[in-house]
Structures are given as structure tokens and as C-alpha cells.
């Protein structure tokens, strides 16, 4: 299961952006004193009572309930929490043993649901709205839709800002989503200015060790986007050379040793590994020699997408470099 989950994190999915709402045509008005005002009031009432219909990533027209109270959005909880929406259940793997730990300050009391969303589990939680990420088969979508309105996102999983805006639209919380985004961008601008003073033209990289294998983050995705796009740190040449379509690209210790990097953020899913830390190649890395390696566990937000994950990574980077 762990390997399957790791593989899913390495995939990148491309999708078209499309969202459209429904239109209501006003009824014809009859002539006569007061007829226009009365018809106008009726039309306003009809329009306000019309359900919202959005076209999702599979091309389905989904009728969105007004003010849903039991929202299920597995692996999208970061966005819900950012919008102060409590999900009815939260994503998990390994029979609930593995969850998104970095969100547990807000989700500690929320029950778990298997990551593959079995029909019976969805039925058990009785959501009144379900938001899911592609890929999903139309047949499975139709099954979920028998339980609750089910909306498949259009936005790419690698573009958390677009995902936030789309989920805000689905929930009728566009203004709240924009506020979250504006606050994040303002903070990123402020922190980037701080690093420009304390770490001008210094480079950084994020390395993930799992099952004794090493991976380097893509410069435009996940925590890489925070490092380089939001905070303005320099990209080591080796990172650019290795980056392909995956969020995390495999890197050998020999390649890592060639990385001229000032700051190394090391996400360790294996725990203590004396063989790596005592290896001569590891010890020759500039960031290691300068004691500028910052270690984080898999329970942190470094492997995830979303406004909360990105802000936590931002805080980790700035506090590590400036301490």
C-alpha cells in the first residue's frame, strides 16, 4: 500500500479548466399598472431559488446543494480547512493508520475513510456533497452520484491556487477563497523580502528519503514551488537537470553529492539512516559541510499541496534559514 501511495504522489495529472453556471430566463411580463414590479419580484425570487449547476471535470452537469453541511473531499481536506469547512470524513491509507498529520490540529476528531473511497464507506457517511479529484471513471462517478451530488475537479492537482478557487466556487465561498489566496501571497512576498536580505542569491533543494531511495522535488511543484517561486531561492543546476514530469524525481547519492547547494531540506520517511549520513559523498555536500541541512519527518506538510501545506513549508524554510 505504501508503495502504491508513493507512486500516486509521483504522478502528475493534466486537466482542462472549465466551469460554467446555469442561466435562468425571466418570464414574459404582461402590460398594466404594477405588472412590471410584480413580475420583477417574482423573477428575482425564482432566480434566487434556482439551484446552481456546474460542469465538472468529466463534463457532467452537477447540481450543487445550497450550504452543504456534510462535505466529503478526500485528499482535499487542506482546502476545506483553509475555508473553515469541516469534512464529514478524512483521507487515510493503511486502514486509517496513515493520515495527513499536518492537518490534525483541525481534523483530530474527524473519522477516516479509505483513500479509494469504497461505495459502502461513502454511503455510511451520508455526505450531501462530494468533491473528488480526477482520474475517476464515469461509472464510479455515477455510483457516487446515487448517494450525493458528486463534483470532479477541473483544476490540475499541481496548481493549488486554481484548486482553491475552484473549490471555493463549488462551495459558494469565492470571496473566502480569494481572501485565503491574497493572505498567502502577501505573506510570501514579505518572507521572500526577508530572505533576500538574509540569504541573497543562496540556493536550496528539498530531498525526500523513503525506502532507502532519494528523490528531489520538482522546482515548480509541491514544496519546490514554495522554495523557488514564492520565496525566490536559487535552483541548483542538478535539480533543473533531473526535473521531469513527476513531483519528486529520483536522484542518486552520487548526483546529490554533485549538487552545489547552500540549504538542504531533508524529508526523512525512513528515520535514522547511519549509512547515508556517514557516507563520504553525503559529507562532501556544501550544505552538509556548512551544517545547513534541515530535517523534517513525513508527518510534516512537505509532501502535500494546498494553502495550509504551502504556508507551513514557507514557515519551515524561513525559520530554518534565519535561526
pLDDT digits (tens, 9 = 90+) for 154-173: 999 999 999 999 999 999 99
Q: Are 58 and 141 in contact, with CB atoms under 8 Å apart?
A: yes
Q: Which ranges of the chain does DSSP label H, i.e. alpha helix? A: 2-10, 35-49, 77-82, 104-107, 119-125, 138-147, 160-170, 174-198, 222-225, 237-242, 253-257, 274-277, 280-283, 286-289, 307-322
Model pLDDT, residue 244: 80
- Same-domain status, 140 and 248: no
Strands 204-210 and 263-268 turn out to be parallel
- Same-domain status, 258 and 277: yes
- Same-domain status, 206 and 166: no
Choose the final residue of a domain: 48, 66, 87. 48
- Same-domain status, 304 and 227: yes
Q: What is the CATH number of the domain that holds 215?
A: 3.40.50.1980
The span from the CA of 288 to the CA of 281, in Å, is: 10
- Same-domain status, 308 and 283: yes
- Same-domain status, 136 and 213: no
| pTM, two decimal places | 0.83
The span from the CA of 51 to the CA of 65, in Å, is: 7
Average pLDDT, the chain: 86
- Same-domain status, 3 and 105: no
Provide the number of structural domains found in the chain. Answer: 3
Domain carrying residue 71: 51-172
The span from the CA of 222 to the CA of 216, in Å, is: 11
138-153: pLDDT as tens digits: 999 999 999 999 999 9
Q: pLDDT band at 319, cuts 50/70/90? A: very high
Q: pLDDT band at 80, cuts 50/70/90? A: very high
Percentage of the chain beyond pLDDT 90 is 76
Q: Which residue has the cell 549520513?
A: 277
- Same-domain status, 186 and 307: yes
Choose the final residue of a domain: 105, 139, 172. 172
Of the listed ranges 22-26, 129-133, 152-156, the least confidently predicted one is: 22-26
Torsions phi, psi of 301, nearest 5?
-95, 5
| 37 has a pLDDT exceeding 60 | no
- Same-domain status, 112 and 40: no
Q: What is the number of other CB atoms lying within 10 angstroms of the CB of residue 129?
A: 21
| 283 has a pLDDT exceeding 70 | yes
Amino acid at each position: 500500500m505504501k508503495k502504491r501511495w508513493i507512486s500516486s504522489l509521483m504522478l502528475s495529472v493534466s486537466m482542462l479548466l472549465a466551469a460554467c453556471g446555469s442561466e435562468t430566463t425571466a418570464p414574459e411580463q404582461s402590460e398594466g399598472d404594477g405588472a412590471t414590479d410584480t413580475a420583477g419580484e417574482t423573477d428575482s425570487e425564482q432566480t434566487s431559488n434556482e439551484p446552481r449547476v456546474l460542469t465538472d471535470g468529466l463534463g457532467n452537469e452537477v447540481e450543487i446543494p445550497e450550504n452543504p453541511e456534510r462535505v466529503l473531499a478526500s485528499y482535499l481536506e487542506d482546502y476545506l480547512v483553509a475555508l473553515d469547512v469541516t469534512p464529514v470524513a478524512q483521507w487515510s491509507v493503511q486502514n486509517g493508520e496513515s493520515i495527513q498529520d499536518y492537518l490534525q490540529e483541525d481534523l483530530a476528531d474527524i473519522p477516516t475513510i479509505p483513500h479509494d473511497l469504497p461505495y459502502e464507506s461513502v454511503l455510511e457517511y451520508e455526505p450531501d456533497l462530494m468533491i473528488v479529484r480526477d482520474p475517476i471513471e464515469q461509472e464510479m462517478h455515477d455510483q457516487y452520484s446515487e448517494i450525493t451530488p458528486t463534483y470532479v475537479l477541473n483544476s490540475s492537482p499541481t496548481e493549488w491556487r486554481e484548486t482553491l478557487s475552484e473549490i471555493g466556487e463549488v462551495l459558494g465561498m469565492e470571496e473566502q477563497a480569494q481572501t485565503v489566496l491574497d493572505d498567502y501571497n502577501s505573506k510570501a512576498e514579505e518572507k521572500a523580502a526577508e530572505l533576500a536580505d538574509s540569504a541573497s542569491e543562496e540556493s536550496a533543494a528539498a530531498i525526500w528519503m523513503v525506502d532507502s531511495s532519494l528523490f528531489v522535488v520538482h522546482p515548480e511543484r509541491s514544496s519546490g514551488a514554495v522554495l523557488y517561486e514564492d520565496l525566490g531561492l536559487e535552483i541548483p543546476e542538478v535539480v533543473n537537470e533531473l526535473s521531469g514530469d513527476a513531483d519528486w524525481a529520483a536522484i542518486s547519492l552520487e548526483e546529490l553529492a554533485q549538487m552545489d547547494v547552500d540549504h538542504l531540506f531533508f524529508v526523512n520517511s525512513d528515520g535514522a539512516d547511519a549509512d547515508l549520513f556517514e557516507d563520504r559523498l553525503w559529507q562532501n555536500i556544501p550544505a552538509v559541510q556548512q551544517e545547513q541541512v534541515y530535517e523534517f519527518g513525513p508527518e510534516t506538510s512537505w509532501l502535500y499541496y494546498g494553502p495550509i501545506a504551502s504556508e507551513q513549508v514557507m514557515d519551515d524554510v524561513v525559520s530554518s534559514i534565519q535561526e
